[in-house]
Structure 1
Amino acid sequence: MNASLSEKKLPAVWAGLLWILTALHIYPILLVLLSSVRTKADLAASPFGLPKQLTFEYFATAFQTMHYLRSLFNTGLIACLSVGLCVVMAAMAAYAIVRRNNRFYRAMYILFLAGIIIPFQMTMIPLYKVLQTFELINTFQGVIFIYIGSLAPFSVFLLCGFVKGVPRELEEAALIDGCGRYRTFFRIVLPLLKPAVTTVSVLNVFYVWNDFLLPMLYLSDSKKMTITVQLASFQGLYFNDWSLIFAGVCMIVLPMLIIYLIAQRFIISGITAGAVKG
């Protein structure tokens, strides 16, 4: 009897712990949202309290001060080009590494793994010298090249595991039907990697979208700055307008939230599934 009661109480205890953890995760998000619609005086008087009066003027001010549409376009352009090119090349590299299991490709795989270990802070000065040599400082091309190199190791590492789940029989059947190696990859293998490619793409887009250091170092023109660098302009040396900063944060997060909600199904399937369906 006592054992049955304890078994009934255990799910309730776990549910309570999950609700507590959920509240701990949601509270900072709600704090940012509420702080973005509060007046400066209200926020200064009670930083963690409920708003006494709602105002949306800071969103309009942030929209103009950040040059939101222009910085949004700059960030989207850099993210789409760098992630798109990186994922295609990473998928091809992962396919070659898995299918051609010899010393050269094993060494290439180790080289990609080394790229995950080395932090960007160790390479940012040599990269600046390289971009300066090729006259790519303050250009989108230079930033995109660096992002491709930075994202490639992690992308290859993840995609290699998914390529191993693609049956060789499908490729052999395509080769018998007359498909070449590249056509087999783009027509047979790559579509089967759709969940994994979507997962890697979304994770990489999040990284590029939220990155502050790289565009700050290599983009000096205010018309080419990304959205996170524009947000930093709200911070002063002696004073920070927190209501304006919180409004800008909400405007930065909104596009990524929409992308995540659209691609959520593919992300979950890409993380949990590595086998071929059908």
Structure 2
Amino acid sequence: MGPLYKFLLWVICLLHMYPILLVLISSVKTKHELAVNSFGFPREFTLTYFKTAFQTMHYFQSVYNTLLIAIVSVIGSVLIASMAAYAISRKNNRFYNTMYVVFLAGLIIPFQMTMIPLYKVMLGFHLINTYQGVIFIYLATLAPFSVFLLTGFVKSIPRELEEAASIDGCGMYRTFFAIVFPLLKPALTTVSILNLFTIWNDFLMPLLYLNDSHKMTLTVQLSSFRGLYFNDWSLIFAGVCMIVAPMLLVYLYAQRFIIGGITAGALKG
């Protein structure tokens, strides 16, 4: 890689890091300094807004709500999508090909088109303002991308392994969980991390289906800092830092798994 490419990569990296640095700097400024010196470094640091945001957002409870919904949704989506991908890739007939097209259609249809009818369905089943209702919706909305990514990985697994397992007396489910599922580890890790980021950063879904303040997620709690006639930007920036920090740490640790999983899929495909 030549020096020009390295220079361009550094420029792109700095352009992506600048908004994060700006939010972090703004979160430790006073309101007055943020108004008169929006883009400069603070002359005096203050952590008051972090303390206020921590208390106002009910941080630990909101983290619990977000993690509960995210972990259950990610585990469920991985299990369902992997089994669906296995069936679609191995049962090459019209029905399963049609099901694959249905999953792909889920990537095209925006969620905003289904909000009103889905809300009526959730209301009919008494799932509004429940963890279960939000988890069910995430399982459905995360399925198209998960199935799309995992199907390519399943097709790359040699059928001879499954035939050998069948000769040894393994049924379909045992073959899947004992042979195929462990071989999908790179893809499953990539799908799990990307789905976790999607749920953690989502605002619309919890806003629509969770009305109880004790069940709200972090992003919905953050929206309470912004009003119609008043915006406390220092408090908002502090809240953003507290929401982004956990997922930033997760990404720094898991980025090699994401890149490795996608790269492995590209090479196998």
**Smaller-chain TM-score range?**
over 0.9
Partner of 1:189: 180
Partner of 1:7: none
- Structure 1: which 5+ residue stretches go unaligned? 1-9
2:24 to 28, 33, 36: 33
1:144 to 124, 130, 135: 135
Partner of 1:65: 56
Matches within 5 A, 1:133-212: 133-212=124-203
Amino acid at match of 1:270: G
1:20 shift after superposition: 1.5
Identical aligned pairs, as a percentage? 71
Matches within 5 A, 1:1-278: 11-274=2-265
Residue deviations 1:88-146, cap 9 Å, x none? 00000000000011110000000101111111000010011001111111111111111
Name the TM-score, length of structure 1 as normaliser.
0.93
Name the TM-score, length of structure 2 as normaliser.
0.96
Provide the C-alpha distance between the structure 1 equivalents of 2:109 and 2:159, rounded to a whole number of angstroms.
34
1:12 shift after superposition: 2.3
Q: What is the alpha-carbon root mean square deviation over aligned residues?
A: 1.5
Provide the C-alpha distance between the structure 1 equivalents of 2:14 and 2:112, rounded to a whole number of angstroms.
35
- Structure 2: which 5+ residue stretches go unaligned? none
Provide the C-alpha distance between the structure 1 equivalents of 2:46 and 2:143, rounded to a whole number of angstroms.
44
Provide the C-alpha distance between the structure 1 equivalents of 2:168 and 2:267, rounded to a whole number of angstroms.
21
Task: Answer with 263-272 or 196-205: which moved more.
Answer: 263-272
Provide the C-alpha distance between the structure 1 equivalents of 2:5 and 2:258, rounded to a whole number of angstroms.
26
Equivalent residue pairs, number? 268
1:265 shift after superposition: 2.4
Provide the C-alpha distance between the structure 2 equivalents of 1:268 and 1:19, rounded to a whole number of angstroms.
19
Provide the C-alpha distance between the structure 1 equivalents of 2:117 and 2:92, rounded to a whole number of angstroms.
33
1:11 shift after superposition: 2.1
> Which runs of 4 or more aligned residues in structure 1 lie more than 6 Å from their structure 2 counterparts after TM superposition?
none
Task: Answer with 268-277 or 144-153: which moved more.
Answer: 268-277
In 2, are the aligned partners of 1:138 and 1:220 still within 8 Å (CA)? yes
Amino acid at match of 1:239: F
Amino acid at match of 1:179: C
Match of 1:123, SS?
helix
1:216 shift after superposition: 0.4
Provide the C-alpha distance between the structure 1 equivalents of 2:255 and 2:12, rounded to a whole number of angstroms.
21
1:262 shift after superposition: 2.8
Amino acid at match of 1:237: L
Task: Say which one has the larger Rg.
Answer: 1
